[in-house]
Amino acid sequence: MTVDAETQPIQPESRAFEADVAKLLHLMVHSVYSDKDVFLRELISNAADACEKLRFEAIETPSLLGDDPQPRITVLADPEARRLVVEDNGVGMSRDEMVEALGTIARSGTKAFVERIEAAQQKEGAQLIGQFGVGFYSAFMVADRVEVVSRRAGADEAASWVSDGKGTFSVAPASLEEAPARGTRVILHLLEDAAQYAERWTLESTIKAQSGHVPVPIWLVEKPGAEAVELTDGAALWTRPKSELTKEDYAEFYRGLGGAFDEPAMTVHYRAEGRHEYTALAFVPSSQPFDLFDPDRKGRMKLYVRRVFITDDAELLPRYLRFVRGLVDSADLPLNVSREMIQESPILGAIRKGLTNRVLGDIEKLAETDAATFETIWSAFGPVIKEGLYEDYERRAQLLALSRFRTTASGEGWRSLKEYVADLKENQTAIYYLAGGERERLRASPHLEGFRARGVEVLLLSDPVDSFWVTTLDGFEGKPFKSVTQGNADLALISKLDAAEEAAPETPPSVAEFIAFAKTALGDQVADVRASDRLTESPVCLVAPDHGPDRQLEKILASAGRAGAAAKPILEINPAHGLIKALAAKDDEALRGDAVALLLDEARILDGERPADPQDFSARLARVLERALG
């Protein structure tokens, strides 16, 4: 007997999750979370997105809606079977889309994604879901098996996906009788300790609390055979007057919109009227998203046209405000707006300008009215906002006034440039800064000694972006920026705090001769060797020439392979230091030659570098010690 190939049933295809996805699922299932309710919010958010995407596709292809034009999300509970279903009549997924969407996570950086979760788990042990936005996979916190059945809008076939979250999943065709007419059905077989998620009271309270402002109506069926009850009407929160909304309303919407778990530090909600009409609702988070510094990260602003979702890929804010989440609902754009039109639209250009000005303006107001909240925002996003100092010429002055800095005078607090300039010392003509890595290492830099002795405040710029923007600006309120690691310090005209040290003695002839000897001995390893007016405690330091990048920017360019013919450093010697005076008094040329080379390597070490030749450094050090002990 033969079997017709066309009637042979297609067997489910079993696949393994990507290795890092399987690891993530294990972390989630075996970790302790403060609130498992988040899984329901994530599934409802996904369902709402699917409905919104269908509304957009139906603009061009109305037939996709068929005889069911109204979007909805239905939550069906079955307490007896310990089962929960979340179903939508949105755009749905094909088999291939299902495999790609449910078999991978953050494809461009999954490994780093998992490593970040593991690190946070060790520190906090909770609240990882909302912080990292794992979305659909949060279902495995409450279910030992998850089934997904989906039918793409307009398609004649459906597919199913099944997994126990332990490393594999299977995909197979689904019969049209079992599948929704359009959209996606997610079936959770609940764990015993998660049975409450099939109870009406738990579902109703959780949905209203976490997803009450989703712009798609949500219906609840409390048990098989019961009538559906509307829990939320899908009224868009951003269309309601601000006077009707509470802080809690905004917080709930923010968490549902962005898959976040924190509270928004600032909310911007306004309606623009006049030449262009649109409503904007934007949130500044209170903590960093895990991918804030990912070069591929884009903004998180959604674009709607008359409440129809268009895209979440429109550049509604400049890149340096990519941490802001929210949406813009335009009344002027056509519903059939294309991606090309989005990129070229003068209307969107006007919206982008207005929204950017409003967000920055509200952050400025916050700095004046609520310093603590502003500092929360700046601590989390200051390094990103400062990217605008060299990207956004139009708002450069505004961003510079908004910026805050740690300084040698601020302790752990923040200082504005306005405050810095107000406290300039007599005869101080520049805003001094020191750029580098860790702030504590910057505070210990020998380059600061002369400035500290005179009470001159120095900006401590520890973010990588600082080395770039500070070289592109003319200054602030007529005062130029000057690196303390570049050129002459020009401190002679600024009085020292200790009057007893005021009259700096001239360099003794023996020390001047030693400096000349050092310059000859080092040859082309340095651009110059000279007496320093910036050192008071250390014997030596390295500085960059007057023109070109300072020491930190040179290092950044070198690490990126873009140093080119880097300028040779200048070795500055403290003529008042006891070691220098002692060496100057020696007439042992061999000893002085070794000492000069060691001083250069010491300056390199103080600058965070390694000796140029560790073996030579070790040999010279041994010879000097041997002479000293002989």
CATH of the domain at 63: 3.30.565.10
Mean pLDDT across 331-354? 78
Predicted local distance difference test score (pLDDT) of residue 131: 39
The answer to whether position 523 is within a domain reads yes
Domain range for residue 596?
504-545+555-629
246 shares a domain with 224: no
Tell me what the mean pLDDT of segment 156-160 comes to.
Answer: 94
Residue 427, annotated ligand binder? no
Mean pLDDT value across residues 450-455:
93
Q: pLDDT at residue 2 above 60? A: no
pLDDT at residue 275 in the model: 86
What percent of the chain is modeled with pLDDT above 70? 85
Say what the pLDDT of residue 32 is: 36
pLDDT at residue 41, rounded to an integer: 82
- Report whether 225 belongs to an annotated binding site: no
Mean pLDDT, residues 254-268:
84
Total number of domains in the chain: 3
The per-residue b/e assignment along 297-319, b for 16 or more CB within 10 angstroms, e otherwise, is bebbbbbbbebbbbebebebbbe
* Per-residue model confidence (pLDDT) at position 608: 84
What's the pLDDT score for residue 124? Answer: 44
Please tell me whether residues 156 and 40 are part of one structural domain.
yes
3-class SS of residue 159: strand
- How big is the CA angle at 229 (ends 228 and 235), to the nearest 5 degrees? 120
Name the helix (H) or strand (E) containing 211. Answer: helix 200-211
* Mean pLDDT to the nearest integer, 592-610: 92
137 has a pLDDT exceeding 90:
no
Same domain membership, residue 352 and residue 221: no
Give CA 491 to chain center in angstroms.
39
Give the pLDDT mean for 186-212: 92
Residue 618 counted as an annotated binding residue: no
How many other CB atoms sit within 10 Å of the CB of residue 68?
11
Go through the chain and tell me how many residues it has: 630
Asked if the model's pLDDT at residue 51 lies above 70, the reply is yes
In this structure, the answer to whether residues 91 and 156 fall within a common structural domain is yes
480 within a domain of the structure (yes/no): no
Distance in angstroms (rounded) separating the CA atoms of residues 236 and 280: 12
- CB hemisphere CA count around 191 (13 angstroms): 12
Q: Are residues 214 and 252 in the same domain?
A: no
CB contact set of 272 (below 8 Å; sequence gap of 6+): 278, 279, 280, 351, 354
In a domain, 398, yes or no: no
Question: Is 35 marked within a binding site?
Answer: no
630 is in an annotated binding site: no
Q: How far is CA 60 from CA 95, 180, 304, 403, in A?
A: 23, 23, 16, 46
Q: Is 483 annotated as a binding residue?
A: no
User: Are 48 and 125 members of one domain?
Assistant: yes
Q: Which of 257, 205, 213 is nearest to 235 (CA)?
A: 213
471 pLDDT more than 90:
no
Residue 216 CA, chain-centre distance (Å), reads 30
The bridge status of strand 183-190 relative to strand 143-151 is antiparallel
Model confidence at 453: pLDDT above 50: yes
Residue 123 lies in a domain: yes
Q: What band does 114 get if pLDDT is binned at 50, 70 and 90? A: low
Residue 126 has pLDDT above 60, yes or no: no
The stretch 482-507 carries a mean pLDDT of 79
pLDDT of 331 over the 80 cut:
yes
Is residue 9 over pLDDT 70?
no
85: β partners: 76, 187
C-alpha 124/C-alpha 32 separation (Å) is 10
* CA pseudo-torsion sign 41, 42, 43, 49: positive
Q: Which residue has the higher pLDDT, 298 or 486?
A: 486
Kindly state whether residues 79 and 146 are assigned to the same domain: yes
Domain final position from 198, 219, 234:
234
pLDDT the model gives residue 27: 62
Q: Are residues 289 and 370 in the same domain?
A: yes
The lowest-confidence range among 91-100, 132-141, 507-516 is 132-141
Asked if residue 426 is part of any domain, the answer here is no
What digits encode the pLDDT tens for the residues 403-443? 999 999 988 899 999 999 999 999 999 999 999 888 888 99
Query: What pTM value is reported for the model?
Result: 0.71
SS (H, E, C) 133-158: CCHHHHHHHCEEEEEEEEECCCCCCE
Pick the last residue of a domain from 190, 205, 234: 234
Q: Does 134 count as an annotated binding residue?
A: yes
How is residue 92 annotated by DSSP?
-
Gap between the Cα atoms of 552 and 541, Å rounded: 14
- Strand, coil or helix: 266: strand
Find the range with the poorest average confidence among 20-29, 294-303, 363-372: 20-29
Instruction: Indicate left, alpha or beta for 450 from its phi (over 0: left) and psi (-120 to 50: alpha).
Output: alpha
State yes or no: 108 annotated in a binding site. Answer: yes
- Give yes or no: residues 76 and 143 share one domain: yes
Do both 118 and 161 map to the same domain? yes
Query: Is 42 labelled a binding residue?
Result: yes
Q: Would 604 be classed as within a structural domain?
A: yes
Q: Which residues contact 359 (CB under 8 A, 6 or more apart)?
A: 268, 282, 284, 317, 321, 324
Is the pLDDT score of 133 beyond 50?
no
Label residue 37 by pLDDT band (50, 70, 90): confident
Q: Which residue has the tokens 């911007």?
A: 268
Residue 563 pLDDT greater than 70, yes or no: no
- Token pair, residue 272, equals 């623009």
CATH number of the domain encompassing residue 511? 1.20.120.790
Distances (CA, A) of 37 to 202, 206, 211, 358: 9, 7, 11, 34
**CA dist list (Å): 433 to 77, 165, 442, 551:** 62, 52, 10, 12
Provide the pLDDT for residue 628: 80
Indicate if 48 and 32 belong to the same structural domain.
yes
Do 326 and 360 fall within a single domain?
yes
Residue 110: its pLDDT value, please?
42
Q: Report if residue 448 sits inside a domain.
A: no
pLDDT at 5 over 50: no
Mean pLDDT within 291-302 = 76
pLDDT at 448: 94
For residue 1, pLDDT beyond 60: no
With bands split at pLDDT 50, 70 and 90, how would you rate the model's confidence at 498? confident
Domain boundary residue among 376, 401, 422?
376
Domain annotation covers residue 447: no
Confirm or deny that 131 is annotated as ligand binding: yes
In the chain, the largest separation of any two C-alpha atoms, in whole Å, equals 112
Instruction: Look up the CATH number of the domain holding residue 355.
Output: 3.30.230.80
Does 132 belong to an annotated binding site? Answer: yes
**Predicted local distance difference test score (pLDDT) of residue 294:** 75
- Of 612 and 259, the one with more pLDDT: 612
470 in Cβ contact with 481 (< 8 Å): yes
The answer to the question of whether 601 is labelled as a binding residue is no
Q: What is the mean pLDDT of residues 484-504?
A: 78
Band (pLDDT 50/70/90 cuts) for residue 130 is: very low
Who wins on pLDDT, 426 or 310?
A: 426
- Coil vs helix vs strand at 186: strand
- Two structure tokens written together for 487: 């050129």
* More confident position, 144 or 118: 144
